[in-house]
Amino acid sequence: MSDENKAQAFLLITHHSSLITPSVMHELSIAMSMIEMASEEAARRGGVQVSAIHLRLGPLSGVVREALLFSYEVACDGTPLEGSRLVIEEVPVVVYCTVCLGERTLASVQRFCCPDCGTPTSQVVGGKELEVVALEIEQ
């Protein structure tokens, strides 16, 4: 993403001052990084068109899904990825229970206890993900 496109994305966000929060600015940075990575991969493959970026996102990643979707759309404007989609797979929080001796999926991030036996646990196995897993390309 060029410096000019970065500046345009920032101006679009700041124009909507009610949307400016530390979270949106954080997600804008992440969106811009994904767009840059996808653009580089498209160029490496001979200038193919990226139609979608697939992302795995956990609730403990520190990223707000809606803010990321908004930021992605804004950041794509004027880039080769304009019109592409951001497809987010939400990953649950999975913990390891030392009593049950197994991995368990939490029903809520408000309570870090094994859903089967109720034992408190802090051993997080999954749910922190923020990873691009695929690009959909058109040749």
Q: 74 in a domain, yes or no?
A: yes
Asked if 50 and 82 count as a contact pair (C-beta separation under 8 A), the reply is: no
In the three-class reduction of DSSP (H, G, I as helix; E, B as strand; rest coil), residue 10 is classed as helix
Average pLDDT over residues 130-139: 93
Q: 112 in a domain, yes or no?
A: no
Q: 65 in a domain, yes or no?
A: yes
Which structural domain, as residue segments, surrounds residue 26?
3-91+127-138
Q: 116 in a domain, yes or no?
A: no
Position 104 pLDDT exceeds 60: yes
Any bridge partners for residue 57, and if so which?
90, 130
Asked if 94 and 75 count as a contact pair (C-beta separation under 8 A), the reply is: no
Q: 28 in a domain, yes or no?
A: yes
Specify the higher pLDDT residue, 16 or 51: 51
The CATH number covering residue 26 comes to 3.30.2320.50
Q: What is the pTM of this model?
A: 0.79
Q: 120 in a domain, yes or no?
A: no
Number of domains observed in the structure of the chain: 1
| Residue-wise pLDDT tens digits, 59-68 | 999 999 999 9
E-strand stretches of 1-139: 49-57, 85-90, 94-97, 102-105, 124-126, 130-138
